[in-house]
Amino acid sequence: MIFNPLKCRFPLWKYLNQPILDPQTPLVLDPQQFWQRHQIEYLERCWIRAYLPEERFRS
């Protein structure tokens, strides 16, 4: 597998613009924890996106 640095870029702007006092999304100050959380959210969004069209065609 070839490493592509453009696909693995840290979301710096999203990290800097985190909501501070929002109870639904807690503030993550550690960049490594933020990166892991971002990757999990990204995978969840991709998974939802991949399976929503199949549900539309069934009904």
pLDDT in tens, 29-54: 999 999 999 999 999 988 888 776 65
Q: Are 22 and 46 in contact (CB under 8 A)?
A: no
Q: Are 19 and 25 in contact (CB under 8 A)?
A: yes
The pLDDT mean for the chain works out to: 82
Phi, then psi, of 37 in degrees rounded to 5: -65, -40
Residue 58 pLDDT exceeds 70: no
